[in-house]
């Protein structure tokens, strides 16, 4: 990439977009722009070098710019998609005329797109652009402070490995690579489901033995679902697999683990569900519905089946762990 000639655009000026954009802006080899619909955030980033919503005390690199102007998208070599998964496809459709045909679309969001399909599948069906996905154990609040973080790049074209290797070279971001885009996408959704499980377990028992017993059961079930949906087993051992799963399942900064803790303590309500923006709850229902079209879910994926009961039936949460332990694998 030629110095200062290529533009990297982040659709979204939230936590992850700001954190990664700030890292790339500091390299001073690219023009890095955050595209947002929020005028106040755009002004704060461009003129005050702060994102007051997510990082009010972190001074951003002065070369990191932000805008609400759709025209800026036309100059993008790479478009990182850093907005909530539920609106990505609809929003990109609304700005389709501004997206260069050759721009690489990189999905950072973790969740389903339209019609219970992964976001990358939706992108590949609706846009002619090359599509990649980038997922890993990566809390934005650590990325912004330059703590090392790992991401898996899922790519469709071999040449994109070198593009992103150069992009993040000499930064605090470490990449591994796989052509298994489906696997990367599926794992990024599954980890939210099983983070809820570990939260429930830890809310009820302070037992390392039990925690890692359930963790192992969950990891095995993730493997079976991954393969069922067309992902590769080996992708489990990329940053997007084991790394992202254990970060989400065992760290109290995780929203879905927090949901599990609330459920396990008996504090779960619909209000709490809404406030936590529960990717995990939505994912449970979608996976259950898709799997049930072909099989009895409880016979093949019993942990997902138990979680589905929690969210959709009257359920005695005190029996959850015993139920999981008694299930055949």
- For 197-218, write each residue's pLDDT tens digit: 999 999 999 899 999 999 999 9
Closest CA to 306 of 230, 218, 186, 231: 218
Q: Which of 155-164, 216-225, 305-314 comes out lowest in average pLDDT?
A: 305-314
Question: Locate tokens 């983070």: which residue?
Answer: 195
Where are the CATH 3.40.50.720 domain residues in the chain?
7-179
Q: Is the pLDDT of residue 4 over 70?
A: no
Least confident piece of the model among 106-115, 121-130, 137-146, 275-284: 275-284
Enter the pTM of the model: 0.93
pLDDT of residue 327: 73
CA gap 163, 104 in Å, rounded = 10
CB atoms within 10 A of CB 66: 26
Q: Where in the chain is the domain with CATH 1.10.1040.10?
A: 183-326
Q: What is the pLDDT of residue 130?
A: 97
**From CA 8, how far away is CA 115, in angstroms rounded?**
29
CB contact at 8 A, 129 and 77: no
Find tokens 């997922």 and name the residue.
135
- Range 183-326 has CATH code 1.10.10.10: no
Q: What is the pLDDT of residues 49-102, one digit of tens each?
A: 999 999 999 999 999 999 999 999 999 999 999 999 889 999 999 999 999 999
What integer pLDDT is reported at residue 1 of this predicted model? 43
Is residue 42 within 8 Å of 70, Cβ to Cβ? Answer: no
CA distance 119 to 280: 16
Helix axis angle, 181-204 to 279-292, nearest 10°: 110
Q: CA-CA distance, 92 to 242, in Å (whole number)?
A: 30
Give CA–CA dist 169/158, Å, rounded. 18
Distance CA 210, CA 217 (A): 11
Residue 71 DSSP code: G
Residues 6-40 have pLDDT tens digits of: 999 999 999 999 999 999 999 989 999 999 999 99
Tell the CATH topology of 7-179.
Answer: Rossmann fold (3.40.50)
| Residue ranges in the chain assigned as alpha helix (H) | 15-27, 39-43, 85-94, 119-126, 140-143, 159-167, 181-204, 208-228, 244-250, 255-265, 270-275, 279-292, 297-300, 302-312, 320-326
């Amino acid at each position: 990439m030629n110095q200062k000639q290529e533009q990297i655009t982040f659709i979204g000026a939230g936590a992850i977009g700001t954190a990664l954009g700030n890292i790339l802006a500091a390299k001073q080899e690219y023009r890095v722009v955050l595209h947002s619909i929020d005028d106040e955030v755009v002004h704060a980033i461009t003129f005050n070098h702060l994102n007051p919503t997510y990082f009010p005390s972190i001074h951003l690199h002065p070369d990191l710019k932000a805008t609400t102007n759709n025209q800026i998208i036309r100059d993008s070599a790479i478009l990182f998609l850093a907005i909530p998964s539920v609106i990505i496809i609809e929003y990109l459709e609304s700005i389709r005329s501004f997206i260069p045909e050759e721009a690489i679309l990189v999905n950072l969001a973790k969740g389903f797109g339209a019609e219970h399909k992964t976001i990358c599948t939706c992108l590949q069906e609706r846009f002619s652009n090359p599509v990649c996905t980038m997922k890993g154990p990566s809390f934005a609040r650590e990325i912004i402070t330059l703590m090392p973080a790992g991401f898996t790049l899922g790519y469709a074209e071999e040449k994109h490995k070198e593009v992103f290797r150069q992009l993040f070279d000499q930064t605090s971001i470490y990449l591994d690579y796989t052509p298994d885009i489906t696997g990367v996408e599926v794992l990024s959704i599954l980890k939210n489901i099983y983070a809820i499980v570990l939260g429930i377990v830890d809310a009820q028992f302070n037992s390392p033995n039990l925690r890692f017993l359930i963790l192992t059961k969950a990891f095995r079930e993730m493997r079976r679902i991954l393969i069922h949906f067309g992902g590769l087993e080996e992708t489990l051992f990329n940053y997007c697999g084991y790394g992202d799963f254990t970060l989400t399942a065992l760290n109290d900064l995780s929203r879905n683990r927090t949901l599990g803790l609330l459920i396990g303590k008996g504090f779960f309500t619909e209000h709490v569900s809404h406030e936590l923006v529960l990717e995990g709850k939505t994912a449970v229902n979608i996976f259950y519905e898709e799997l049930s079209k072909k099989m009895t879910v409880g016979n093949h994926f019993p942990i997902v089946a138990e979680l589905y009961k929690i969210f959709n039936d009257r359920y005695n949460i005190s029996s959850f762990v015993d139920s999981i332990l008694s299930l055949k694998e």
